[in-house]
Amino acid sequence: MDLASAFSITVARRPDAIAVVDGGRRLSFRECHAESARLAGGLARLGLRAGDHLLLLLKNRYQNAALYWACHMLGVIYTPLNWRARAAEIAYCLGDAKANAVAFEGASAESVREALAQSGLEALPRVVLADVRTEPGDASYADLAAGPTLERPIAAEEDSTCLMLYTSGTTGKPKGVPRSHRNELAATVSMIAHNRYVFGDSALGVMPMYHTMGVRVLLAAALLNGKFVCVPAYDTELALRLIQDEGITTMFLVPTLYYDMVNHPDFSAFDLRSLKRIGYAGMTMTNALSAACMDQLKPELFVNYYGTTEVYTLSFCDHVDAKPGCAGRPGLNQMLRLVVPDPEGKSGPDDLVAPGEPGEIIASLASPEAFAGYWRRPDANAKALRSGWYFTGDLGRRDEDGELYVIGRLDDMVITGGENVYPEEVENALSHCPLVRRAAVIGIPDERWGQKLVAFVEPAAGASAEGLAAYMGEAALANYKRPKEYVLIERIPQSPVGKILRRELRAGNYRRVQ
């Protein structure tokens, strides 16, 4: 089944249920479907056809959600980018995706217009929101949404591409990840099952829709006639207020945003009792933060959802309260293996590690959630896709119960004095220190050790390198896993979705605390 048909079924089931909330605007499923159908007609009049790419640089707004459904009705590939992207990255993606149109708002207008000029694409069709100062050739969202409805929605093949997400590009140029209707529906059903979502749930739309988690929250809410509450740009106090005022029942965030919530100075002023089921993904969560979430948010269910943009569900753990950091067991229709880590990419799917030993996590491409390969990147396919398996680049180990723990990235592993150290393990130990707000660990070249373990710390009051060293001297870590240097900095560099950018630390792009 294609996504437009799935949405039509949902609309017919409960047409008057609220589908999207954006500030003071509330759209029922009937209204959202009607607006999306008019937008699809407008996109068709701009010349877009099935298989074309619409590049979008929009915050989480109702217009973004409506354009998402409009694309599926027309068979256009919804291709979102970070609305904060700079002109050079936008220009790259315009060319890489061979975009047929672009949609943007005021916050991204300057960069988009610069990118179009750099690319010689000034004549490309443009859809602009009301906060954009229009120029000749711009098509306003309002005009498209007021026009005639698409007469006949496209009945897309389930294996045709409906979505293309760009990876964050933390290790180079972003890679396009095409996703089919079948991939997206299977991934969303898995997410619903593993997080135990129910009909009529209210979901907080915090994760940006250019990220796989953001799209998944929207689609899961829609399939269950749930309410998707837009958060255009993350603000902790706003998020807490929306949980209270909108009766949010489910939340799916990266750990960074949970950290901001439970550490907000006015946290106790908000009534969050409606929140029942929460989950996290995108990066590991420290044991200290996991405990704080359980203690302060008091969810009925707390899930660690381990996955990727390429193959959405890898594993899940629904007992994080008992086993903090555990990624659990493979998800629906998924098979995982741990193979010998090889930075050169020469390991095969049968090169299994011994029980309890760390290995690279690989996932079967037979899963209905698995993509078919990167967009126009045979080099990336050769590295990641081998013998029917997706090599994630993540390192993991299984405990005595056979449950998975993700311990880091293969590229981030530090070899010091001949011993392998996984930064997340050291960061987890640091997270319990009262002198630490956030921490990141990397290896830097060292004549004696090969690589020297260095901890970068956002300090709490009273922190010093000596105090940190004293604390870690008592931590339950082998000596070779203890940092040899502590650097106090103003802010740990992070991606827009909260992932640590270790390359920025290696490059010296940080400011020391004075």
- Cα(24)–Cα(36) distance, integer angstroms: 19
User: What pLDDT sits at residue 237?
Assistant: 97
* Contact status, residue 107 vs residue 60, Cβ threshold 8 Å: no
Bridge partners of residue 395, in order along the sequence: 360, 408
**41-51 per-residue burial string, b: 16 or more CB within 10 A, e: under 16:** bbbbebebeee
What is the predicted pLDDT for the residue at 44?
97
- Is residue 171 a contact partner of residue 411, using CB atoms and an 8 Å limit? yes
With CA atoms as reference, report the closest residue to 352 among 370, 335, 372: 335
Alpha-carbon radius of gyration of the chain: 23
Percent of the chain residues past pLDDT 70, beyond the cut: 99
Task: Choose the weakest-confidence range: 39-48, 60-69, 329-338, 446-455.
Answer: 446-455
- Mean per-residue pLDDT of the chain: 95
Q: What is the pLDDT of residues 74-104, one digit of tens each?
A: 999 999 999 999 999 999 999 999 999 999 9
Instruction: Please answer whether residues 14 and 2 qualify as being in contact, where contact means their C-beta atoms are separated by less than 8 angstroms.
Output: no
First vs last C-alpha separation in the chain: 58
Q: For the residues of 71-106, what is the DSSP string, one character each?
A: HHHHT-EEEE--TT--HHHHHHHHHHHT-SEEEE-H
DSSP assigned state of 201: -
- How far is it, in rounded angstroms, from Cα 141 to Cα 103? 9
Mean of pLDDT values over 378-383: 94
- For tokens 């996932």, the residue is 363
For residue 420, what pLDDT is reported?
84
Question: pLDDT class for 172, splitting at 50, 70, 90?
Answer: low
Looking at residue 222, its pLDDT comes to 99
Task: Tell me which range, 147-161, 304-318, 401-415, is most confidently predicted by mean pLDDT.
Answer: 304-318
pLDDT value of residue 170: 47
Q: Which residues contact residue 409 at a Cβ distance below 8 angstroms, ignoring those fewer than 6 apart?
A: 393, 394, 395
Q: What is the pLDDT of residue 85?
A: 92
| Assigned token pair, 271 | 């009534």
Mean pLDDT of 386-413: 94
The mean per-residue pLDDT over the stretch 364-391 comes to 97
Q: Which pLDDT tens digit goes with each residue over 489-502?
A: 999 999 888 888 99
| pLDDT tens sequence across 267-315 | 999 999 999 999 999 888 888 899 999 999 999 999 999 999 999 999 9
Alpha-carbon torsion angle 323, 327, 333, 334, nearest 10 = -140
Q: Is the predicted pLDDT of residue 169 greater than 60, yes or no? A: no
Q: For the chain, what are the domain ranges? A: 1-232, 413-506
pLDDT category at 442 given cuts 50, 70, 90 is very high
Cβ-contact 224, 61 below 8 angstroms: no
Checking if the pLDDT of 168 tops 80, the result is no
Q: Which fold has domain 413-506?
A: GMP Synthetase; Chain A, domain 3 (3.30.300)
Is residue 196's pLDDT more than 60?
Answer: yes
Residue 212's φ and ψ, nearest 5 degrees, are -55, -35
Percentage of the chain beyond pLDDT 90 is: 87
pLDDT at 345: 87
Class of domain 1-232: alpha beta
Q: Averaged over 391-398, what is the pLDDT?
A: 96
DSSP-assigned letter for residue 460: -
Q: Which tokens belong to 141?
A: 């969202």
C-alpha 421/C-alpha 107 separation (Å) is 41
